[in-house]
Amino acid sequence: MAVRLFGSMVALGVVVGTGGCVDGGSPPVDGLRAPAAAAVVGSQDTELLLRGAPWWPSGFNAPQIATNYAINYGCGAEVDLDEFFGKLPRNSLTRFAMFQALAVNKSTGELDFRAADAVFAAAQRHGQLVLPVLIPQNGDCDDEVFKQRDWFVRGWTEYRPIAGRAVMSPRDWVRTAVERWRSSPMVAGWTVIGEPEPSNCAGSTCEERRRTCPGDAAQVLRAFMDESGALVRALDPQRLIFAGFLGGGQCGTVATEFEFVGAALNVDVLEYHDYSDGDVALPGGRRNGLATRIVQARALRKPLLVAEIGIPAGSCLPVAERRDYLAAKLAAQRDAGTAGALFWAFVPDPRPDQCTLDIGPDDPLWAVVAEYSTLG
């Protein structure tokens, strides 16, 4: 996930500090020993299901909701979690950054789950489903390292200390996160890495024009999906695993490689991320476009979630016009066979005097989420 700019439930407890209760007095729970909750989100062929009923979720990417500057280095402005989750429409879905750095205390350098636990606790209080993304491809808000080919082969298993950001290997972080929060019934599934791309970087920069794609990129990415997915599946057998793909022809998922990697046994839901112009409903060409990805998802009998969709607004476009463009996109994409769409990105402090992807608390896209999040 690129940072572009970036029932009655028991609250989860903390791991470090003086102990006690989180947000309202719920007793702490040892997430490392808690069993996985029953999954409420499933899939059937190309559809997502919520409690067994066909579900087409809309919602928001909210990458910064685990930010707490008293604890971690954060990822944007802090969010009032009860205000955010309390305002969300029913049957919506929130995708968010749950990176290792957001669970490390920047002062002590030790694991500190308080900020992260607060997100899951608030989601549970308000009955809202969440989709955590555990590792960012580009390193934003985490280790600040772009993941190259060798990271997908072995680097993700290696521990490289980063003060205030990393206290274990990425693989151990995936294990730790799933073990801790699998007991929350509001977890819709898991995304191991957002926008995976096993390319190589030239020199000290990893900007797109300086990357090269190794010939075995698809095989490397498929093996990573097999291995990382098996780890998640062993810890939380019922939950869906989301691919995290950007989907537009990136290294490792070009053309038919998308289908090859997406066929991995431990990938349940495919993804596409859409930042195309507002009047383009099904972006991309014949090799890597959204229409092609829908056909590939049908061949695999897996849902295709447009997990990120956004159009800049503010000084460059009125938010009401953006709403109209995106509502039309969602309607066309749903009719074409997608399984849901999540807007990029909620922020508590939108900048109307700039041209950004910000979606504030009063943005008209909230009404679009309410309209398009359908069940049954």
Q: Is residue 32 part of a domain?
A: no
Mean pLDDT of the chain: 92
Selection from 205, 217, 222 nearest residue 249 by Cα = 217
Residue 62, pLDDT score: 98
Q: Is residue 12 part of a domain?
A: no
Q: List CB contacts of 278: < 8 A, sequence separation 6 or more.
A: 311, 317, 321, 322, 325, 326, 328, 329
Going by pLDDT thresholds of 50, 70 and 90, the confidence category of residue 32 is low
Residue 2's pLDDT is what? 38
Which has the closest alpha carbon to 307: 348, 248, 366?
248
Give CA–CA dist 60/55, Å, rounded: 16
Query: What value does the mean pLDDT take over residues 22-36?
Result: 49
Domain for residue 6, yes or no?
A: no
Per-residue pLDDT tens digits for 81-120: 999 999 999 999 999 999 999 999 999 999 999 999 999 9
Which is higher by pLDDT, 67 or 6?
A: 67
Q: Which helix (H) or strand (E) holds 191?
A: strand 189-194
The total number of structural domains in the chain stands at 1
**Containing structural domain, residue 303:** 53-375
349 is written with which tokens? Answer: 């402090």
- Biggest alpha carbon distance in the chain? 57
pLDDT at 254 over 50: yes
Confidence (pLDDT) at 10 = 28
CATH of the domain at 308: 3.20.20.80
Question: Given this model, what pLDDT does residue 115 score?
Answer: 98
Residue 25 resides in a domain: no
Q: Which residues contact 14 (CB under 8 A, 6 or more apart)?
A: 20, 22, 28, 112, 113, 114, 117
Q: Is residue 38 part of a domain?
A: no
Whether residue 204 is contained in a domain is answered as yes
Rounded Cα–Cα distance for residues 36 and 38 (Å): 6
- The pLDDT tens digits for 169-178 are 999 999 999 9
Whether residue 21 lies inside any domain: the answer is no
The residue ranking higher by pLDDT, 204 or 49, is 49
The pLDDT of residue 245 is 98
Lowest pLDDT segment from 23-27, 91-95, 146-150, 358-362: 23-27
Cα–Cα distance for residue pair 242/159, rounded to 1 Å: 24
pLDDT computed for residue 33 by the predictor: 64
Average pLDDT of the residues in 271-296:
97
pLDDT at 202: 87
Confidence at residue 29, expressed as pLDDT on a 0 to 100 scale: 38
Q: In the structure, what pLDDT confidence band is assigned to residue 17 with cuts at 50, 70 and 90?
A: very low
Distance CA 204, CA 211 (A): 11
| Residue 196 resides in a domain | yes
**Is residue 42 within 8 Å of 28, Cβ to Cβ?**
no
Q: Which of 28-32, 93-97, 198-202, 266-270 has the lowest mean pLDDT?
A: 28-32
Cα–Cα distance measured from residue 184 to residue 187, given in angstroms and rounded to the nearest whole number: 6
DSSP state of 156: G
